[in-house]
Structure 1
Amino acid sequence: MTGRQHRARAAHPAPPGPPRRATLRLLKQLFTDRLALMGDSAEVYGDVVRIAIGPKAMYLVNHPDLAKHVLADNAANYHKGIGLQEARRALGDGLLTSDGETWREQRRTIQPVFQPKRISRQAAVVAAEVDALIQRLAAHDGPVEILHEMTGLTLGVLGKTLLDAELGGYETLGHSFEAVQDQAMFEAVTLSAIPQWVPLKKQLHFRTARDDLRRIADELVEQRLANPVENGEDVLSRLIESGSAQGASRERMRDELITLLLAGHETTASTLGWAFHLIDEHPEVGERLHAEAVEVLGDRLPEHEDLRRLTYTAAVVEEVMRLYPPVWLLPRVAQADDEIGGYHVPAGSDVVVVPYTLHRHPGFWTDPERFDPGRFDPANPAGRPPRYAYIPFGAGPRFCIGNSLGVMEAVFVLAMAARDLVLRKVPGKVVDPEAMLSLRVRGGLPMTVHRRERVRRAEAA
């Protein structure tokens, strides 16, 4: 340790945290209930917590000002961390996992696809995909696995809006990404101590999934090379054009595509799953959604301009993402020593900002466990918390570029579903969160679908 490091530690002590004797309990929570580990640690020890597990120490950051420091003010000192490092084995150096100049080049290449004007022009495509979903759901007789349906929808939207491609023939995508997430978290909690060649069932599934994702990405590139789009604005066209200009490898284009396929569908599908669960738990919310959809849309498909009028629906989406942020963990690795909240953080430390706990911080949210879309009522802007108390899309330079498309998709789905349908969980279904790379419903979400007019007639009778 250098003299400078000694002086830094003397001036800024280590944060509080669980004692070393709690290692076995912490390991168990890390494997079985990561959300409880983060929530309990923040509740007991405060806004900066040092969690030591074996040779590793993780620094939990749980305050808006400190999140801003890590994610924005001193972002250059923090590279991608635990979980995402492991995901790189399957995703390669895509936008989600890369750092430095590679990340900046990728961001510059893809950013124009997400410009607000271009996304607004995709509203009709999104509405048509959602309408097809509503018709499929309405035709079901018996329980529907709603997460499977949401994944199919979000992949379809992603393909047509961002890739100018049809993804309907790639039914394995959802399962492959589940295997990738499982493996990434497995490696994260085991500190990558188990080599990938060990023939565990989980690792065999991962290798199959990785090969499947690479095959699909290669097929998409080959299809576009065979059928180029003149002046194409989609991601595929831009990746190919950029790759040709920069001499980038096919592997790099593959990495970027796989990352986009994962990030572009998983977060919105997870948000919609949690939304349908919470609306079923709070039928009064479903009634208000229905009333707004009837008033704003009537019997037509939504348009981009309707986003400004579907204010309650948008508030529901925001509150769903507060309670169940699709990206529940923002992991970083400190490149140099830092001071966070008056505490010393050594270079090389894993530093994690946890939106799941930050969005429940009692210092910034009243009755934080309660589902209350009124928190995001645009008529009451003074009731909103500080900017960095609510970061469902991350913050700083790595703020999610797909946020506007994801929100539009979620608002359209909830509005059209509430107008025409009532979705109810299968009796006995226990809904628990599963904290992987995204925050998803553990074990799926089977629901029954009912046409709203039939529900009303039955209630009236």
Structure 2
Amino acid sequence: MTVPSDEARAARTAPPGPPRRATFRLLKQLFTDRLALMGDNADTYGDVVRIAIGPKAMYLVNHPDLAKHVLADNAANYHKGIGLQEARRALGDGLLTSDGDTWKKQRRTIQPVFQPKRISRQAAVVASEVDTLVQRLAEHDGPVEILHEMTGLTLGVLGKTLLDAELGGYETLGHSFEAVQDQAMFEAVTLSMVPQWVPLKKQVGFRTARDDLRRIADELVDQRLANPVENGEDVLSRLIASGSGEGASRTRMRDELITLLLAGHETTASTLGWAFHLIDEHPEVGERLHTEAVEVLGDRLPEHEDLRKLTYTVAVVEEVMRMYPPVWLLPRIAQADDEIGGYHVPAGSDVVVVPYTLHRHPGFWTDPERFDPERFTAAERPPRYAYLPFGAGPRFCIGNSLGVMEAVFVLAMAARDLELRKVPGKVVEPEAMLSLRVRGGLPMTVHRRERRRRSEAA
């Protein structure tokens, strides 16, 4: 009989983690506070943690080198996992949920829409949409639901920049996507053990939302087929052109559009919500944003070249995404046995890289709970894989450039002309769904600023 070497035995050792007697506490956290579930166990057990809940075991990865292994070096072994698998019922096999050759083909089809030169040409469209929003907010009397406003903005920008379509008439989109996220997370935490036909309010709402999203996607496809754009560069045109003669299948186009609508607006809207919350908590940051916007922009709309000049504004966006990464969880399923950090991970295991905890790792971030945009203006930065607001590896977020440009333009133009303050008594808490959003919305009051001249700002 062959005796395994010490190295082989070590490689088959399970990572540390909470004991079985902690199951009920873990279940409670899984339902009510998923961020604490991840953070507490990373703090207690280290950079690789095995969390067993019922019949399933989840492997938490919380180190830049190990995140690189899962997301980049051995990415072929890790397909999309918990949460995204459940979201497939509404999103279908879109870019967010597909794997393998299907994903590669989809990525090749859509990638040209996000080329840097094309995105830079969209700057005027983005700036115009933001200007309309800021002017409307300036005239608002009484509290405004800022997350609703940001959702409307980001959907409008997405429609005009990526689809060459108007989405203003689809007011139900935001609510439908919330229902999709709620149901996907419900199925994930209940291990899909509740039959889908059970008439729970959440499940009924999901079915209504799914039908609504499919209807909207079909209408957008029909509009483009009826009014084709010659040599169109937008997503709809490319999906049609990628088909065989008669265009792409309706199901495929629907899946791609629903996925794009969700991923293209939710992450940026969430980032902006957290940004306005943090700026309100740190008024000195708002003043620096205002000063920079006056200096760089004056009275004009921003242009793409201004991204290199709005350095502090960019740093604020980066720090917001560090503290509250819109994609807080990167779930994967191991296709074959693997070794992570010297520990054995069996095939079929749920493996999760958690940007939320990684962005707070005390080994790579100084005073990680402090909101400090200047950490992103320093010459020395943490390791590449210690900061993953857009994921990493082959599945790096395709829309990162557009999202950052949109967020920077919003913060610069809003800080130049307005001051937003949270309604007194509003408690801001994170809600970890498919994205990391502010629980229960973010009502704020809007106050006009007296715009200073450039010489006064200096």
Q: TM-score range by the shorter chain?
A: over 0.9
Instruction: Rate the CA distance shift 1:455–1:32 in 2: closer, same or farther, 3 A.
Output: farther
Alpha-carbon distance in 2 for matches of 1:162, 1:403? 13
Give the structure 1 partner of residue 139 of structure 2: 139
Contact 2:240 2:247 in 1 (8 A): no
Paired residues, what number? 456
C-alpha distance after superposition, 1:112-154 (max 9, x if no partner): 0000000000000000000000011001000000000000000
What's the TM-score, normalizing by structure 2? Answer: 0.96
Residues 1:295 and 1:11: Cα distance change in structure 2 (over 3 Å) = closer
Alignment of 1:361-400 (within 5 A): 361-376=361-376, 382-400=379-397
User: Partners in 2 of 1:30 and 1:88 — Cα distance?
Assistant: 21
Query: How far apart in 2 are the matches of 1:288 and 1:266?
Result: 27
Identity of counterpart residues, as a percentage?
A: 91
Asked if the contact 1:243–1:253 (Cα under 8 Å) also holds between the matched residues in 2, the reply is no
Q: Contact 2:294/2:452 (CA < 8 Å) preserved in 1?
A: no
What is the DSSP-based 3-state SS (H/G/I as helix, E as strand, rest coil) of the residue aligned with 2:351? strand
Residues 1:312 and 1:71: Cα distance change in structure 2 (over 3 Å): same
Q: Are the equivalent residues in 2 in contact too, given 1:271–1:321 (CA < 8 A)?
A: yes
- Are 1:422 and 1:450, in contact at CA under 8 Å, matched by a contact in 2? yes
1:237: Cα distance to partner?
Answer: 0.4
CA contact (8 A) 2:63 2:386 kept: yes
| Per-residue Cα deviation, 1:213-270 (whole angstroms, up to 9, x for no partner) | 0000000000000000000000000011112359642101100000000000000000
Q: TM-score, normalised by structure 1?
A: 0.96
| TM-aligned CA deviation for residue 455 of structure 1 | 12
Cα distance 1:6–1:203, how it changes in 2: closer, same or farther (>3 A)? Answer: farther
- Give the distance between the partners of 2:244 and 2:160, measured in 1 at CA: 23
Alpha-carbon distance between aligned partners in 1 of 2:317 and 2:294, rounded to the nearest angstrom: 18
User: What whole-Å deviation, never above 9, does each CA across 1:35-65 have from its counterpart, x for those lacking one?
Assistant: 0000000000000000000000000000000
Q: Secondary structure at the match of 1:82?
A: coil
Contact 2:239 2:248 in 1 (8 A): no
1:203–1:298: structure 2 CA closer, same or farther, 3 Å change rule? Answer: same
The structural deviation recorded for 1:6 is 13
Cα deviation digits, residues 300-324 of structure 1 (max 9, x gap): 0000000000000000000000000
Structure 2 residues not aligned, in runs of 5+ = none
RMSD after superposition: 2.8
The secondary structure found in structure 2 opposite 1:360 is coil
Q: Deviations over 1:372-420 (max 9, x none)?
A: 00010xxxxx431000000100000000010000000000000000000
Contact in 2 for aligned 1:14/1:344 (Cα 8 Å):
yes
For residues 8 and 299 of structure 1, the distance between their equivalents in structure 2, rounded to whole angstroms, comes to 66
Query: Conserved in 1, the CA contact under 8 Å of 2:289 and 2:416?
Result: yes
- What CA distance in whole angstroms lies between the structure 2 residues aligned with 1:3 and 1:207? 55
Shift of 1:195: 1.1
- Counterpart-to-counterpart distance in 2, 1:394 and 1:106: 18
Cα pair 1:9 1:344 within 8 Å, conserved: no
1:61-110 deviation per Cα after TM superposition (whole angstroms, max 9, x unaligned): 00000000000000000000000000000000000000000000000000
Distance change >3 Å, CA 387–CA 246, structure 1 → 2 = farther
Question: Where does residue 111 of structure 2 map in the other structure?
Answer: 111
In 1, Cα distance between the equivalents of 2:440 and 2:207?
Answer: 22
Question: Would the aligned equivalents of 2:151 and 2:266 in 1 still touch at CA under 8 Å?
Answer: yes
* Alpha carbons 2:179, 2:202 under 8 Å: kept: yes
Which digits, 9 at most, give the CA deviation of each residue in 1:181-228, with x for residues without a partner? 000000000000001110000000000000000000000000000000
Q: 1:52 to 1:419 in 2, by over 3 A?
A: same
Name the CA distance, whole Å, in 2 between partners of 1:269 and 1:41: 29
- Change in Cα spacing, 1:395 to 1:434, as seen in structure 2 (3 Å) is same
CA 1:460–1:213: 2 relative to 1, 3 Å: closer
Q: Secondary structure at the match of 1:243?
A: coil
